[in-house]
Structure 1
Amino acid sequence: MQGTKIRLLAGGLLMMATAGYVQADALQPDPAWQQGTLSNGLQWQVLTTPQRPSDRVEIRLLVNTGSLAESTQQSGYSHAIPSYCANAKRWP
């Protein structure tokens, strides 16, 4: 029992000592992606895929919100948008 406590304490101290030295480099955007922002704040990204010429367009939608961040006018958007995307497998 005493040995277990000492090992846990030593392991915790070792983790705390090394935690300050571990730093990751900031991620840089991939230059193959074209990206921009519309006047309404919508951010878009496009990736050309010459290795797959049969691909027309692939759309990925990232909604940076949740039900707790919605105002009264936006109520239900964070649930509705993923539902629409899941149901629209092929369009038109």
Structure 2
Amino acid sequence: MKKIILLCAGGMSTSVLVNNMKKEATAQQFNCEIDAYAVDAAKKVGAEADCILIGPQIAYKLEEVKKVVPCPVADIDMAIYGMMDGKKALEMAQKLIGVL
């Protein structure tokens, strides 16, 4: 099972995107766990993650997060985030993990 983490500033909108990604993962029969955390938890939650996606509102912390986690990290495109596009966000994660 792959573990995908989304990091945000603590807003509710990221949990909506997580739910949309979970629905898409179920539709694709892609076995994964997707959770959202505040960016301050990056080092702790990133230790066991297969990849991390960062909300656009904290994209400026991308390099900082990359330094404290062993997995690939990318910022979520503003259009994907704004549309809460679970399919495209999941595709981003799958590409980072190397399954797409």
- TM-score > 0.5, shorter chain as reference: no
Kindly indicate which of the two structures has a greater share of residues assigned to strand.
2
Q: Decide which structure has greater helix share.
A: 2
For the pair shown, the structure with the greater C-alpha radius of gyration is 1
